[in-house]
Amino acid sequence: MLPKPRHLMSLADLSAPEIKRLIAHSFALKHYSKPWADPPIGNVIKQNSGSTPLLPFQSLLGKTVALLFSKRSTRTRLAAETSLALLGGRGLFLGREDIQMGVNETVRDTAHIISGMCQGIMARVGEHEEIEELAKYADIPVINGLSSLWHPTQILADILTLHENASAFTHSHKPRSLAKAETAQPSPTLPELPPLTVAYIGDSANVLHDMLVTYPRLGHTLRVASPRQYRAPKEVWDRVWGLGCDERIEWVEDPKEALKGANVVYTDTWISMGQEAEKEERLRAFKGYQVTEALCKEGGADPNWIFLHCLPRKPHEVDDEVFFGPRSLVFPQAANRKWTTMAVFDLMVGHWKIDIPKAKA
Ligand code: CP
Ligand code: NVA
């Protein structure tokens, strides 16, 4: 009988070594799959030629992952479908209007039905409780593709992007350009990251929540500037405290205070999916939080700061100069959703085992 699967509701569910392993695996998969890379499969297999090779190609051959999306998605859906194709599996996209769940059938029954036919579930839901209910009754791994509280797969792509651009943090005042970031031939070894100061300016939503339980455990400091009334909810702080992450988190209201010495400036929309009715109130509350060159200079960000955004972007939270400017890594960051999602599917659905031991040299 197969062991019970691990689910991924938030990166808080994984240990720091497991998160690092996913990032390293994403990087290996990217190099293995990108046509411009030297064929590294020989190396990868040779380095790991024990009983459990690192890259058992096509680990999802003949397998199907149900993609239950009750909200819109561009990146998460593309990342899931394209990476499943590379792994030899199939993603079965089931939108809210397509299936019985929530209308004629409970989440619990749906979990049992999908478990009888598929090998994994990625779900994008409204309230987080819904995906917890799916995970409770599913006999197959359930991956959170965004919920009201968390967005774990986004943060994996962000961290991979930071590693790939590590030279920006180690070479002082190195000139950067978007074109260079997009076309650079990454080195075959995942560059190490120095401890970073990451400033998050804006709404405390799902993306930030997963950053809060992850960056501090990887040795980085997170400075958040968000209006008091939008502070993360108790469920999130319980996980932050439980993991000891609060020691490397500073929470302020003034964005300039959060920016001092920041190597990375991150933001997300102020109006998340489902909050459209609060638009006017939110635009008022977040006045002064738009990421601009002037704000970051005034706040004393590192001169070489880089910009990340999970996307989709609205101009409220970041102006065009930054978003399309040379500091912005948003498009390579989006492309990395594919490789990190592929690693999650490979290790958590293809193998049901994230901590595959490295073979002896
Ligand atoms: N960042 C992100 O999750 O994008 P989508 O909503 O397009 O999937
Ligand atoms: N906070 C945003 C993230 C989108 C990827 C939302 O939930 O809409």
pLDDT at site 37? 42
- More confident call, 28 vs 2: 28
- Pocket of ligand 1 contains residue 292 by CB under 6 Å: no
Q: What is the atom index within ligand 2 of the atom nearest the CA of 275?
A: 8
How many angstroms is it from 74 CA to the middle of ligand 1? Answer: 5
Report CA(114)–ligand 1 centroid distance (Å).
24
Examine the pLDDT at 55 and tell me if it is beyond 80.
Answer: no
Residues of the chain with CATH 3.40.50.1370: 11-35+59-151+336-349, 152-168+190-335
Tens-place pLDDT, residues 307-347:
999 999 999 999 999 999 999 999 999 999 999 999 999 99
DSSP letter, residue 90? E
Q: In the CATH scheme, what is the homologous superfamily, with its name and number, of domain 11-35+59-151+336-349?
A: Aspartate/ornithine carbamoyltransferase (3.40.50.1370)
How remote is the C-alpha of 127 from its chain's centroid? 19
Percent of the chain with pLDDT over 90: 81
Give 35's pLDDT tier (boundaries 50, 70, 90): low
> Which residue matches tokens 């390293």?
24
Give the residues surrounding ligand 2 with Cβ less than 6 Å away.
Answer: 146, 205-207, 268-269, 272-273, 310
Please indicate whether residue 118 is annotated as part of the active site. Answer: no
CA of 333 to the centre of ligand 2 (A): 15
DSSP calls for 49-89: -SSS-S--S-TTTT-EEEEEESS--SHHHHHHHHHHHHTT-
Q: Which atom of ligand 1 is nearest to the CA of 311?
A: 1
Three-state DSSP state, 28: helix
Residue with CA nearest ligand 2 atom 1: 272
Per-residue pLDDT tens digits for 94-143: 999 999 998 999 999 999 999 999 999 999 999 999 999 999 999 999 99
Structure pTM?
A: 0.91
DSSP for 193-213, please give it. Answer: ----EEEEES---HHHHHHHT
Q: Which ligand minimizes its atom distance to the CA of 154?
A: 1
Q: For 260-273, what is each residue's pLDDT tens digit?
A: 999 999 999 999 99
Checking if the pLDDT of 11 tops 50, the result is yes
pLDDT at 359: 52
Q: What is the spatial distance between Cα 190 and Cα 79, in angstroms, rounded to a whole number?
A: 21
From the options 3.40.50.1370, 3.40.50.300, 3.40.640.10, 3.40.390.10, give the CATH code of 152-168+190-335.
3.40.50.1370
In the prediction, which pLDDT does 171 show? 60
Q: Which ligand is nearest to the CA of 334?
A: 1
Cβ burial 288-306 (10 Å sphere, 16+ → b, else e): ebbbeeebbeebebbebbb
Q: What is the mean pLDDT of the chain?
A: 89
Cα of 76 from ligand 2 centre, angstroms: 11
- Does 73 contact ligand 1 (Cβ within 6 A)? yes
